[in-house]
Amino acid sequence: MCIFISCQFSYSQSDLIQIKQNPKIDTLIKLKKELNKNLFNLKIQIFSGKRDKALELISKHTKNNYPGSKIKLVYETPNYKVWVGDFFTQLQADRKLLLIKKTYPEAFIFRPKPKVQNEEVDLEKI
């Protein structure tokens, strides 16, 4: 009996767990999150035209039509455009496009171009 009790205590596991992690991993995770913010993901354009029609389309659009999709009104001269979704992969965009094409046959997938920000330039430095 004594041998049994002594073996139980000698081979038991402790509750203390130590994880040794490289401190650079946290830096990499922060960098990855920052890069994902600046990615221009795939979107689906369902309308391009006059503002009144675009607003009417957005008001008819309910979240039940395309769950999990953001709808956005964008002005690019000379038309207003209605964009749906924010997709990371072509496969996700293709699946959603099949559903959207039933209602909007003219819909298509695209990747928006980044907008160039006008920054003030110091002429003396040039």
pLDDT per residue over 50-77, tens digit each? Answer: 999 988 888 877 655 666 678 888 998 8
Instruction: Tell me if 16 is assigned to some domain.
Output: no
Instruction: Tell me if 57 is assigned to some domain.
Output: yes
Number of domains in the chain: 1
Please, what is the average pLDDT of the chain? 78
| Better-predicted residue by pLDDT, 39 or 33 | 33
Q: 80 lies in which domain range?
A: 38-110
Q: How many helices (H) and strands (E) does the chain have?
A: 4, 4
Query: What was the pLDDT predicted at 13?
Result: 60
Instruction: Tell me if 10 is assigned to some domain.
Output: no
Instruction: Tell me if 103 is assigned to some domain.
Output: yes
Own/partner pairs, 48-57, CB within 8 angstroms, 24+ separation: 48/79, 48/80, 48/81, 48/82, 49/79, 49/80, 50/79, 50/80, 51/75, 51/80, 54/80, 54/81, 54/82, 57/82
Query: What was the pLDDT predicted at 113?
Result: 76
- Cα separation, 43 vs 82, in Å, equals 10
Instruction: Tell me if 28 is assigned to some domain.
Output: no
pLDDT per residue over 1-15, tens digit each? Answer: 677 666 666 555 666
Respond yes or no on whether the N-terminal peptide bond of residue 78 is cis (omega within 30° of 0). yes
Instruction: Tell me if 126 is assigned to some domain.
Output: no
Instruction: Tell me if 22 is assigned to some domain.
Output: no
Q: Tell me the C-alpha to C-alpha distance, in Å, between residue 83 and each of 13, 60, 115.
A: 56, 14, 16
Q: What is the helix, strand, coil percentage profile of the chain, to 5?
A: 40, 20, 40
Instruction: Tell me if 21 is assigned to some domain.
Output: no
pLDDT per residue over 89-101, tens digit each? Answer: 889 899 999 999 9
The runs of H, that is alpha helices, within the chain are: 2-10, 24-38, 51-60, 90-100
CATH of the domain at 55: 3.30.70.1070
